[in-house]
Amino acid sequence: MVFVKLPVVIPLHITELSVDGFRNLHGVKLVPSPGGNVLLGDNGHGKTSVLEAIDYAASLRSFRGATRTQLIGHEAKSAEILMRVGGPSPSREYRLRLGRASREITLDGKRPERAVEYFSGAACVVFHPGDLDLVRGPPELRRRLLDRILVRAVDGYGEALKSYGKALRARNALLREKHPNARAIQAYDFPVARYGSALVRARAVLAHDLVPAARRALDEVALSPDAIELKYQPRASGDQVAFTAALAEGLARDLARRSTSLGPHGDDLAITWSGLPARVVASQGQTRALALALRLAELHVLEARTRAIPVLLLDDVSSELDRERTARLFKLVGALGAQVFVTTTDPAIAAMLPGARRFAVADGAVTPVGAG
């Protein structure tokens, strides 16, 4: 019998963060703790924007759904983010410049060549008030959760996702023409099926892995772990040949609808609670706990697949969780050794994270508490 020694799991941690011109933030320079970090201040002063800047540098998307131009401050010509991240590999430098008409991205001074190379080195998991929509909202949000994990954990997934989107848009554009050409449309069946089936296969495996991770997370936040069930509901086959055949068979329907009806762009991750749709039966408190469980499941899956613990970003946690669940969450984070950033208006929350570094946020400026 041969025993394989797995690599040691190491937390990712942001060692330096500089932000300028992003939302209302100006001249922000942080040296965070590798453990807990608490951003204190009144609402509307920039606490959430700090988390958004961190996650944008890591994911190239705003968790608040903002466009690039919306992220640039009203009086700024551009927004700049510099983030250095330590972890299993040597320290990495993420540098972004957001202009009104363009975006410049470098990783260690070079343009990244592969999506997984960029995304895996600075994985973040964000829990914010909008996450209740993961349970109650449209399927698009749950697809985005799956994709967010997979671009970090599966080599080639980001490229397949991009290629699928490009082929799908081209096919849909042909379907919308005044006099559609069936042969031209069918020319895109191959790339749509090729990349789409790859997405379906990867999502199916991930959905299977998320179930035990979500149950573990529910147990950690003091809810019945057996009550949750996640079921991936694909709108196409993971077999490329079957997918291609289904596109050909459905051409008349697509011409009538003027859009492609089959494919992972219509998938869902169904969430049931005690056998019933969670969006219907879960209370407000249960919905919050379910949303948090999905985010913790994201963290657990990324930890297992990448052997690195993501940075955890908790926005306005005191309004989303009661004190008992907040304390349990912080205890869990401490046991994992994850770096965490918490925003709150309540100084008492900081006391629940022993040894946390505190920062005051006011009018877009961030200052270490106790600094002169």
Into how many domains does the chain fold?
A: 1
Domain that holds residue 358: 1-123+310-372
Give residue 285's Cα distance to chain centre: 22
pTM here is 0.91
Tell whether 207 is covered by a domain. Answer: no
List residues bridging with 312 in a β-sheet.
Answer: 125, 340
- Give ∠ CA 187-193-198 in degrees, rounded to 5: 145
In a domain, residue 102? The reply is yes
Residue 168 in domain: no
Q: In DSSP terms, which residues pair with 344 in a beta bridge?
A: 40
Do the domain assignments include residue 303? no
Give Dmax over CA atoms of the chain in angstroms.
71
Residue closest to 213 by CA, chosen among 296, 123, 331, 127: 296
Q: For residue 32, give the CATH number of its domain.
A: 3.40.50.300
In a domain, 107, yes or no: yes
Residue 243 belongs to some domain of the structure: no
Distance (Å, whole) CA 152 – CA 238: 21
Q: Is residue 77 part of a domain?
A: yes
Cα 197 to Cα 267: distance, rounded to the nearest angstrom: 12
- The answer to whether residue 137 is domain-embedded is no
**Angle in degrees, CA 169, 170, 176, rounded to 5:** 85
Q: Are 28 and 49 in contact (CB under 8 A)?
A: no
Structural contact between residues 218 and 300, judged by C-beta atoms closer than 8 angstroms:
no
Tokens of 184: 């031209």
- Sheet of strand 124-127, all strands in order from the earlier edge strand to the far edge: 124-127, 311-314, 340-344, 36-40, 357-362, 365-368
**3-class SS of residue 38:** strand
Q: Strand 36-40 vs strand 357-362: parallel, antiparallel, or unpaired?
A: parallel
What tens-digit pLDDT sequence spans the chain (372 residues)?
344 344 577 889 999 999 999 999 999 999 999 999 999 999 989 999 999 999 999 999 999 999 999 999 998 999 999 999 997 667 899 999 999 999 999 999 999 887 777 887 889 999 998 999 999 999 999 999 999 999 999 989 999 999 999 999 999 999 999 999 999 999 999 999 999 999 999 999 999 999 998 888 888 776 676 788 899 999 999 999 999 999 999 999 999 999 999 999 999 999 998 889 999 998 888 888 889 889 999 999 999 998 899 999 999 877 777 777 788 888 888 888 899 999 999 888 888 888 899 999 999 999 999 643
